[in-house]
Structure 1
Amino acid sequence: MAFAVPALYALWIRPRLLTWGATRDESTSVYPGDELVAEADSSSTMATTLPAPPEAVWAWLVQMGGDRGGWYSWDRLDHYGEPSAERIVPQWQDLEEGQHLLTAPDGRSWFTVAVLEPNRTLVLRADLKLPSGRSYDIRTGSLPRAHMDGIWGFHLRPAPGDRTRLVVRTRGVSRPRPLTRPFDLLLGEPAHFVMQTRQFHNLRTRVGAQA
């Protein structure tokens, strides 16, 4: 019996957390930005259908950021308690590859816009030192002894009825693996599921109200 719960989680619950809402084709497809973490230790593909066309959904995604419109998830956990935007803000509609989107109030950690295809693909990259969680520039070529690097990709595809299929792909690699692997399993993956499903819910509410 002691082995039943871990086995149930590993064989049935965890695969569903990592592919929540996604079809088999969506889960196995290759998306722009996947190549940025070619040998990933962890990955997930989650998806939902939103009641608006891709260009309407894009307007909400492109204004994400801790110093912009927030992340549309649990704001107490990822936006310093400030509510995420509930309207389209014109000054946040400009986004460029290489731009930093802050994730911490002190400005020492951020996502970098890695891939930008308007109305279709937005891939954010995070390269973090551990255990501080501070960002570093991977282009310097020197990796910290302990680090976590990954992508958070948003892929929009038209769906019947003037709707959008939003597929969210994550890929990550972290070192030293004997220490980061338990963190991924026990905290990282469940936390991502909670935050991502909340974001799906809030995006659906926002784009639905706008439509």
Structure 2
Amino acid sequence: MSTKQSRRRPVVRLLAPGAVCAAAGPYALWIRPRLLTWGATGDEIGRAFPGDELFPVADGSSVMATTLPAPPGKVWPWLVQMGYDRAGWYNRLDRYGIPSADRVVPEWQHLTAGQRLTATPDGRSWFTVALLEPQRTLVLRSDLDLASGRSFVPGRDPLPRAYMTGIWGFHLRPAPRGGTRLVVRTRGRGRPRWLTRPFGVLLGEPAHAVMQIRQFHNLRGRVGGEDRPESPDADR
């Protein structure tokens, strides 16, 4: 090894952490807050939502929102039929590339509190319907054992050593000109915190933001286009 190369190594070792810190600053101060509140108004960001009481102390939360071109009564059937083995999540990223339903399916319109909605192809993980108020509120809860990748039932199963648990809430309110204001609220926690917190901030939150924005886009196309043929690339 040349003397020049040996001198270069310490410089690289110093520059790499510096580059990470330089990128982390703008992300934490500017990008991350916008990801966590995409589309939401100040009032929506500051208010409490049904389901928040399930996690009075949370490691992280987000409020994202959009306006859909249909009244709550037309939006609700699309939300009720969500699930991996049902209509999907209106986002191919959440369903491993499989397109979601492009119509309201009558046999998927029955949903009750406590019902499980499969989240993965093997059925090992699921969402549980935690709260349900027709045409207003749908709160789904996830309790995931990180070691096995399986869901667990709080209060019945032993608490895993590493887990993430939280809610994914959909809240509908009438909007001007016959539309619907759809506010999506997430809130949750994980343990051990030294593992789940960095993972959530660096990977979980950005991934959720991308998937949620895509879901908003695809729902907007569906509820606003029920009377016209579905575009073949509407669910991307």
**Structure 1 position 151 matched with structure 2 position 170:** no
**Structure 1 position 35 matched with structure 2 position 53:** yes
Once residues 142 and 38 of structure 1 are traced to their aligned partners in structure 2, the CA distance between those partners, rounded to angstroms, is 21
1:4, CA displacement in angstroms? 3.2
The Cα offsets for residues 122-144 of structure 1, whole Å up to 9 and x where unpaired, read as: 00000000132210001316311
Query: SS at 1:151's partner residue?
Result: strand
Once residues 43 and 139 of structure 1 are traced to their aligned partners in structure 2, the CA distance between those partners, rounded to angstroms, is 23
Once residues 79 and 52 of structure 2 are traced to their aligned partners in structure 1, the CA distance between those partners, rounded to angstroms, is 19
Partner of 1:69: 87
1:6, CA displacement in angstroms? 1.3
The equivalent position to 2:121 in structure 1, one of 97, 105, 108, is 105
Larger relative contact order, structure 1 or 2 (CA cutoff 8 Å, min sep 6): 1
Once residues 123 and 170 of structure 2 are traced to their aligned partners in structure 1, the CA distance between those partners, rounded to angstroms, is 23
The Cα offsets for residues 85-130 of structure 1, whole Å up to 9 and x where unpaired, read as: 0000000000000000001111110000000000000000000001
Once residues 31 and 94 of structure 2 are traced to their aligned partners in structure 1, the CA distance between those partners, rounded to angstroms, is 25
The Cα offsets for residues 143-176 of structure 1, whole Å up to 9 and x where unpaired, read as: 1111100000000000010000000000010000
Once residues 136 and 191 of structure 2 are traced to their aligned partners in structure 1, the CA distance between those partners, rounded to angstroms, is 32
Alignment length (residue pairs): 209
Partner of 1:184: 200
TM normalised by structure 1 equals: 0.96
Structure 2 residue runs of 5 or longer lacking an equivalent are 1-17, 228-236
The equivalent position to 2:210 in structure 1, one of 170, 173, 194, is 194
The runs of 4+ residues in structure 1 deviating greater than 3 Å are 1-4
Structure 1 residue runs of 5 or longer lacking an equivalent are none
Bigger Cα Rg = 2
Once residues 201 and 14 of structure 1 are traced to their aligned partners in structure 2, the CA distance between those partners, rounded to angstroms, is 20
1:81, CA displacement in angstroms? 2.8
TM normalised by structure 2 equals: 0.86
